[in-house]
């Protein structure tokens, strides 16, 4: 779903291409420092309190303190996610703007389709994600010039072409920064352990990727990190619509 955002004019196309080349293989700290200098509080960081997000929260406090944090509460998150969010809020003194889905749209969806409509078809699942995630994201990004995410190329087959700096044409051409794009899962966990960063305990129970409770399961040893998300679908379809590549 496209949202009406003002077209960012902070970077010309020439500057965007130069910055993309500069940040392509840059460390996460440099990418965040660049985001702080270029966008400051006009940038927003999406956090769902997974492993990548807790790393970004810790890094951002050091390298991009002006960047605002936001989260999407779908209404179906596991309790462990709320628990770690509180731990992180208290540890870092965070203000995390929280966006909920439109109440009337959720009521209509559940009243007409039931609580588990997302398992009926890909279209039904995308409808649910659209209401609970995509539309709230549009509101979260409204008026912003850039957003920061924890996307990594290694996460799944749908993310292998992600770049450190992109344009998000689904949201008015916002600049999209992915500081951990080249990190491996090993690097993520090394950072968490070395810096004592709190994390979601579901990761210790075989959940490398955590979303809504009914749509997430533990993964098997041979599966990729996002195999537990919408596991009844093919791997090529396992995106909720927040990160659309065109």
Q: At what angle do helices 122-129 and 103-113 cross, to 10 degrees?
A: 160
Known catalytic residue: 109?
Answer: no
Find the catalytic residue in 240, 241, 244, 246.
240
Q: Is 212 annotated as a binding residue?
A: yes
Residue 129 annotated as lining a ligand binding site: yes
Annotated binding-site residue? 11: no
The reply, when asked if residue 244 is annotated as ligand binding, is no
Q: Which residues are annotated as catalytic?
A: 240
Residue set of the binding site for [4Fe-4S] cluster: 128-129, 212, 215
């Amino acid at each position: 779903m496209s949202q009406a955002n003002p077209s960012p004019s902070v970077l010309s196309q020439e500057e965007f291409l130069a910055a993309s080349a500069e940040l392509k293989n840059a460390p996460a700290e440099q990418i965040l420092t660049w985001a702080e200098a270029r966008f400051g509080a006009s940038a927003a960081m999406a956090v769902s309190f997974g492993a990548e997000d807790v790393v970004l929260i810790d890094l951002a406090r050091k390298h991009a303190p002006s960047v605002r944090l936001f989260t999407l509460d779908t209404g179906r998150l596991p309790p462990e996610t709320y628990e770690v969010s509180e731990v992180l809020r208290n540890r870092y003194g965070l203000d995390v703007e929280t966006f909920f889905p439109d109440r009337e749209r959720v009521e209509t969806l559940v009243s007409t389709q039931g609580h588990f409509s997302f398992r009926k078809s890909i279209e039904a699942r995308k409808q649910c994600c659209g209401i609970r995630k995509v539309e709230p994201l549009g509101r979260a990004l409204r008026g912003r010039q850039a957003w920061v995410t924890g996307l990594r190329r290694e996460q799944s087959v749908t993310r292998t072409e992600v770049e450190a700096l992109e344009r998000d044409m689904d949201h008015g051409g916002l600049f999209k920064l992915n500081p951990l794009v080249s990190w491996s899962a090993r690097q993520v966990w090394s950072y968490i352990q070395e810096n004592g960063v709190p994390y979601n305990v579901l990761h210790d129970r075989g959940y490398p990727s955590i979303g809504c409770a009914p749509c997430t399961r533990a993964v098997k040893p041979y599966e990729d990190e996002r195999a537990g998300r919408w596991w009844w679908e093919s791997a090529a379809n396992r995106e909720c619509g927040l990160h659309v590549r065109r």
